[in-house]
Structure 1
Amino acid sequence: MIKVIDLFAGPGGLGEGFTAFKTENGKLPFSIIASVEKEASAHRTLTLRSFYRKFKKNCVPNEYYQYIQGEITRETLFSLYPKESEAALEETLQEPKSLGTDNLEIHSTIKQRLGKEEEFRVVIGGPPCQAYSLAGRAKNMNDQKYNAKEDIRNFLYKEYLNILCIVNPQVFVMENVKGILSSSIDGEKLFPRIINDLQNPSKAIKNLDGANYKIYSLVKPALDPLNPYYKDTSDFVIKSEAYGIPQSRHRVILLGVREDIKKIPSTLIPTEPVNIEQVIGDLPRLRSGLSKNDDTTENWNEIISEFIKSMPKQLSQLKFNDVAQRVTGFKSKQLLNLTRGALVYKDGKLKKSKLPKTLHDWVLDPKLKSILNHETRGHIVEDLRRYLFCTAFAQEYSERENPNPKSHEFPDFLAPDHKNWKSGKFTDRFRVQAKGKYATTITCHISKDGHYFIHYDPLQCRSITVREAARIQTFPDNYFFEGNRTQQYVQVGNAVPSYLANQISKIVYELFT
Structure 2
Amino acid sequence: MNVIDLFAGAGGLSEGFRKAGFNILSHVEMDQSASLTLKTREAFYFLKEKDKLHIYEDYLLKKISRDELYSHIPKDILNRVINAEITDETIGGIFKSVDKSIGNQKISVIIGGPPCQAYSLAGRARDPERMLNDPRNYLYKQYIKFLSKYSPEIFVFENVMGILTAQSGEIFQNIKKEMNEAGYEIDYKVLNSKDFGVCQSRKRVILIGWKKELTFSYPNFENIQVAKKTIRNLFEDLPILKAGEAINERDGYTKRSTKYLVADSIRETDWNVLIQHIARPNRELDLNIYRYAVEKWDTEGRKIKYDELPKTWQTQKNTQSFLDRFKVIPYDDVSHTVVAHIAKDGHYYIHPSKEQNRSISVREAARIQSFPDNYYFEDSRTAAYKQIGNAVPPLMAYHLAKNILDKI
**Which interval holds the TM-score relative to the shorter structure?**
over 0.9
**Structure 2 CA distance, aligned partners of 1:284 and 1:438?**
20
Q: 1:471 to 1:188 in 2, by over 3 A?
A: closer
CA-based RMSD: 2.1
Which aligned pairs between 1:78-477 and structure 2 lie closer than 5 A?
78-79=70-71, 81-83=72-74, 86-93=75-82, 96-100=83-87, 101-114=89-102, 119=106, 121-141=108-128, 146=129, 148-184=131-167, 189-201=170-182, 212-217=183-188, 236-268=189-221, 269-289=224-244, 340-344=245-249, 349-354=253-258, 356=260, 360=263, 362-398=265-301, 403-413=302-312, 415-421=313-319, 423=320, 425-477=321-373
- The TM-score, its normalising length taken from structure 2, stands at 0.93
Task: Give the greater-gyration-radius structure (CA).
Answer: 1
Measure the CA separation in 1 of the matches of 2:41 and 2:118: 29
Find the counterpart in structure 2 of residue 49 from structure 1: 41
- Residue 70 of structure 1 and its aligned partner are, at CA, apart by 1.2
> Which whole-Å CA distance do the structure 2 matches of 1:484 and 1:105 have between them?
29
C-alpha displacement at 1:110, in angstroms? Answer: 2.9
In 2: Cα distance, 1:178 partner to 1:259 partner: 26
Ranges in structure 1 where 5+ consecutive residues have no aligned partner? 22-27, 202-211, 218-235, 290-339
**C-alpha distance in 1, partners of 2:61/2:305?**
41
Q: CA deviation at 1:150?
A: 3.5
Given the superposition, is the C-alpha separation of residues 474 and 200 from structure 1 closer, same or farther in structure 2, using an over 3 Å criterion?
same
- Describe the shift of the 1:436–1:50 C-alpha distance in structure 2 as closer, same or farther (beyond 3 A): same
- Determine the structure 2 residue equivalent to 1:510: 406
Percentage of identical aligned residues: 36
Q: Mark the CA change 1:103 to 1:54 in structure 2 (over 3 Å): closer, same or farther.
A: same
Distance 1:163 1:240 in 2: 27
Question: C-alpha distance in 2, partners of 1:19/1:60?
Answer: 20
- 1:355 and 1:472 map into 2 onto residues whose CA distance is 16
Q: Could you tell me the TM-score, scaled by structure 1's length?
A: 0.75
User: In the aligned structure 2, how far is the partner of 1:417 from the partner of 1:82?
Assistant: 50
1:64 to 38, 56, 79: 56
Say if 2:57 and 2:273, in contact at 8 Å, map to a contact too: no
| 1:276 positional shift | 1.4
Question: Deviations along 1:270-306, whole A, 9 cap, x unmatched?
Answer: 53332212112321110113xxxxxxxxxxxxxxxxx
The structural deviation recorded for 1:148 is 4.3
**Which structure's relative contact order is higher, taking Cα pairs within 8 Å and 6+ residues apart?**
2
Report if the CA contact (8 A) 1:447-1:486 is conserved.
yes
Q: Is the 8 A contact 2:184 2:211 kept in 1?
A: yes
Q: Deviations over 1:72-119 (max 9, x none)?
A: 11122222x242xx13222113xx1111152111112334555668x4
| Distance in structure 1 (CA, Å) of the matches to 2:258 and 2:73 | 39
Structure 1 residues 133 and 92, CA gap change in structure 2 (3 angstroms):
same
CA contact (8 A) 1:261 1:511 kept: no
Gaps of 5+ in 2: none
Aligned residues: 405
User: CA–CA distance in 2 between the matches of 1:90 and 1:48?
Assistant: 12
Q: Distance in 1 between matches of 2:50 and 2:248?
A: 23
Q: Distance in 2 between matches of 1:188 and 1:44?
A: 35
